[in-house]
C-alpha cells in the first residue's frame, strides 16, 4: 500500500535540489523545507530524482516460457533498475494476439505490483506474418493496447504492414517494427563486417535493417499513420530516421543500451552473452546511434530485456539464443555512454527513458515529476561506481553482457505509484497488499 513519503534534497532531473511529498500515491507537493507528521523520510541529498523509468521493449516470457522469466521476476528486475512501467512484448505462448492474452498479462502485472505492465499486442496471428491479429479487440480490451509488434519477426509483407498501419490509425495506435529483411539475414550469426570475415561467421548486413526502415517510412507517410522502429542499430538507420522526421513522417525510434556501448569486437571471444538480434555493430555505428540519441533523431532508450535459461547461452555460438537481460543495468549504461561523455544531461535522460516512451505508448500518468501526478519516482546516485555482478540481477536469468564490467551509478530508491519497491539500494522482497 502507498504511504506518506517525504523525499528531501533530491536534484530534480539533475537540476536544483528540492523536497517531494508523496501522499495517497501521488506527488502532493514539491518545494523546500517540506515535512509531514508521521511520514517516511528519505534523505536524498546527492541523489538525482527522475520520473520513474519506462521501458517500451521488455520480454517477460509469461505465459509459456517461465523458465526464462515471469511477470513477477521481470518486474522485480525492472524495479531494481529504476523502472516503474514496462511494455511486455507479445512473444509468449500463447502469443499475445488476442484480448484474452493481453488481459491476462495485465492482471499478472497488477498482482505482482513491482511495476505497471502494459501489454504489446502482436501485429499478425501467431506472429506468423500471414494475417492481421485482433488489433481492434486488443485496443478495446481492459489492457487498452496501443502498441503492436511482431517482436523478433519482421512484418516483412508490405501489404500486411500497410494494412496494419491503416488499421491502428483509427485509434492512434503505433506499429513497432523489428526491421530485419529475413532473406538478407538467413543463417546470420553476427554483424557483417571485418570481424565476421575474420571469424568465418555468417554476417547480418546493415542493409537488412535499413531497407525495411526505408520501406516502412514510405508506407507510414503514405498511410499517415504512426511507425516505431525497434532497437535501431546502424549509422544508416539513423540517417533514415533523420530524413523521415525532416519530411514530417510520424516515425519514432529506439536504441538499446547495448548498442550504445558494445561493439562486434566482443564476439571474438565467442561468449554467447554478446549474441543478440540485431547484432552488436561496429564502433562507427555505436558513435552514430549515440549522436542520433543526443540530437533527438532517436527518441528513446529501450532495453530489449531478453532473458534466457543458462543452457541456451552456455553452448557453442551458432546454437546459442539471441538476447541479453538489461533492466537492471540500463540506467547505468546510459550514464556511462551518454552522460559521462557529455552527450546528454539528466533532464535528457528523463526524457528518453521516461517521458518519451510513455508518450509513444500512450501510458497515462508516467513521465513527469509534477504536483498531482502519480508518484512514480526513481532516485539515482551518480557518485558511486562498481563492478556489475550477478548480485545486481533480480530476474530469473543471468545472460547479462555487463557481468564483470565497471559501471557508474546505482539506483537507490524506486517508488511505483507511491509504493516503495527499492529502498536504500535494496529490492523490497515483499510488497504490502
Q: What are phi and psi of 354, to 5 degrees?
A: -140, -65
Give, in order, the Cα–Cα distances in Å from 180 to each of 204, 214, 359.
Answer: 9, 11, 25
Backbone torsions φ then ψ of 37, nearest 5 degrees = -65, 130
Question: How far is residue 100 from each of residues 11, 88, 104, 148, measured CA to CA in Å?
Answer: 43, 15, 6, 15
97 is annotated as an active-site residue: no
Q: Is 37 exposed, middle or buried (0-12, 13-18, 19+ CB in 10 A)?
A: exposed
* Cα–Cα distance, 160 to 216 (Å, whole number): 11
Residue linked to cell 523478433: 152
| Run of H or E residues at 41 | strand 40-43
Cis upstream peptide for 224 (omega within 30°): no
- Cβ atoms within 10 A of the Cβ of 11, count? 20
Neighbours of 123 (CB within 10 A): 28
Pairing of strands 426-427, 83-88: unpaired
Residue with cell 523489428: 178
Torsion sign across C-alpha atoms 239, 244, 248, 253? negative
Q: Which is the catalytic residue, given 97, 285, 299, 304?
A: 304
Do the Cβ atoms of 82 and 414 come closer than 8 Å? Answer: yes
Task: Tell me the three cell numbers of residue 290.
Answer: 549515440
Q: Which residues are catalytic?
A: 304
Amino acid at each position: 500500500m502507498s504511504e506518506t513519503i517525504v523525499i528531501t534534497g533530491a536534484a530534480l532531473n539533475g537540476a536544483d535540489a528540492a523536497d517531494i511529498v508523496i501522499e495517497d500515491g501521488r506527488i502532493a507537493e514539491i518545494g523546500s523545507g517540506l515535512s509531514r507528521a508521521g511520514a517516511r523520510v528519505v534523505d536524498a541529498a546527492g541523489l538525482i530524482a527522475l520520473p520513474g523509468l519506462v521501458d517500451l521493449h521488455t520480454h517477460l516470457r509469461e505465459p509459456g516460457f517461465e523458465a526464462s522469466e515471469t511477470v513477477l521476476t521481470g518486474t522485480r528486475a525492472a524495479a531494481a533498475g529504476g523502472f516503474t512501467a514496462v511494455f511486455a512484448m507479445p512473444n509468449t505462448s500463447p502469443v499475445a494476439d488476442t484480448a484474452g492474452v493481453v488481459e491476462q498479462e495485465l492482471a499478472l502485472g497488477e498482482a505482482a505490483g513491482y511495476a505497471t505492465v502494459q501489454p504489446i499486442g502482436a501485429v499478425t496471428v501467431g506472429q506468423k506474418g500471414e494475417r492481421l491479429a485482433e488489433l481492434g479487440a486488443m485496443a478495446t480490451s481492459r489492457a487498452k493496447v496501443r502498441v503492436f509488434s511482431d517482436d523478433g519477426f519482421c512484418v516483412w509483407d508490405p501489404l500486411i504492414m500497410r494494412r496494419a498501419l491503416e488499421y491502428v490509425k483509427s485509434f492512434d495506435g503505433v506499429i513497432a517494427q523489428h526491421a530485419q529483411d529475413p532473406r538478407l539475414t538467413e543463417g546470420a550469426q553476427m554483424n557483417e563486417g571485418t570481424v565476421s570475415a575474420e571469424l568465418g561467421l555468417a554476417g547480418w548486413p546493415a542493409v537488412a535493417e535499413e531497407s525495411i526502415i526505408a520501406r516502412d517510412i514510405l508506407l507510414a507517410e503514405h498511410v499517415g499513420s504512426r511507425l516505431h522502429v525497434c532497437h535501431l542499430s546502424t549509422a544508416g538507420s539513423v540517417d533514415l530516421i533523420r530524413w523521415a522526421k525532416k519530411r514530417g513522417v510520424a516515425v519514432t525510434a529506439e536504441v538499446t543500451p547495448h548498442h550504445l556501448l558494445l561493439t562486434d569486437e566482443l564476439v571474438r571471444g565467442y561468449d554467447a552473452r554478446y549474441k543478440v538480434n540485431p547484432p552488436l555493430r561496429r564502433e562507427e555505428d555505436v558513435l552514430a546511434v549515440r549522436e542520433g540519441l543526443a540530437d533527438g533523431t532517436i527518441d528513446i532508450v529501450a532495453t530489449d530485456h531478453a532473458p534466457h535459461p543458462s543452457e541456451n547461452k552456455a553452448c557453442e555460438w551458432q546454437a546459442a539464443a539471441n538476447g541479453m537481460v538489461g533492466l537492471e543495468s540500463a540506467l547505468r549504461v546510459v550514464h556511462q555512454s551518454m552522460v559521462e561523455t557529455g552527450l546528454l544531461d539528466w533532464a535528457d535522460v528523463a526524457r528518453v527513458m521516461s517521458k518519451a516512451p510513455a508518450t509513444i505508448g500512450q501510458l497515462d500518468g508516467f513521465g513527469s515529476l509534477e504536483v498531482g501526478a502519480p508518484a512514480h519516482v526513481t532516485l539515482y546516485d551518480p557518485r558511486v561506481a562498481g563492478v556489475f555482478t550477478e548480485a545486481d540481477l533480480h530476474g530469473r536469468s543471468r545472460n547479462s553482457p555487463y557481468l564483470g564490467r565497471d559501471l557508474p551509478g546505482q539506483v537507490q530508491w524506486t517508488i511505483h505509484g507511491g509504493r516503495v519497491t527499492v529502498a536504500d539500494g535494496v529490492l523490497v522482497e515483499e510488497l504490502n497488499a
